[in-house]
Structure 1
């Protein structure tokens, strides 16, 4: 089985799905990545807070388009195997 463009696209979709289903209170807070992790005023955000902002941004922006992309991926898988 060769790695093609479709396989890479499918892997990216699966990663986006994984990021979108992370629940902050149930999973991220237990690991220490919850909402209550605030930075001080005037401080540069660290890597941890930048990753949390990225997760929240992906969850906010990609929620609705990801539904359509998942449906299209499932239809393509059903049609072409």
Structure 2
């Protein structure tokens, strides 16, 4: 009942969910935009000292941005394969 195929389906659905999130419409409204402030490249010495600590929110924002950038073509292929599998074998 709960096997390897189910885990693959759930992970594919979660990656799809991250890929379709709109940064302008949804993520920016809740403060999860990956856009950097205009002066992010220029840091003082005091700002650079606390840079070693990266929060979970920052890591999740970077993960969502990476999924949206890097997984676009592989997701199209994987979704097509899953659809064909479901149509042919009726999984």
Q: Which TM bucket (shorter chain)? A: 0.7 to 0.9
Query: Where does residue 87 of structure 2 map in the other structure?
Result: 78
Query: Where does residue 26 of structure 2 map in the other structure?
Result: 27
The answer to which of 13-22 and 29-38 deviates more is 29-38
Counting only pairs closer than 5 Å after superposition, residues 53-68 of structure 1 correspond to structure 2 as 53-68=62-77
Contact 2:34–2:62 at 8 Å: present in 1 too?
A: no
SS in 1 for 2:34: coil
Give RMSD over aligned pairs. Answer: 1.8
The answer for unaligned runs of 5 or more in structure 2 is none
Q: Distance in 1 between matches of 2:19 and 2:8?
A: 17
- 1:12-33 C-alpha deviation (Å, 9 max, x unpaired): 1111100000111100111121
Alpha-carbon deviation of 1:36? 4.6
TM-score (norm 2): 0.77
Moved over 2 A (4+): 35-41
Query: Where does residue 56 of structure 2 map in the other structure?
Result: 47
Alpha-carbon deviation of 1:37? 6.1
Counting only pairs closer than 5 Å after superposition, residues 4-23 of structure 1 correspond to structure 2 as 4-23=3-22
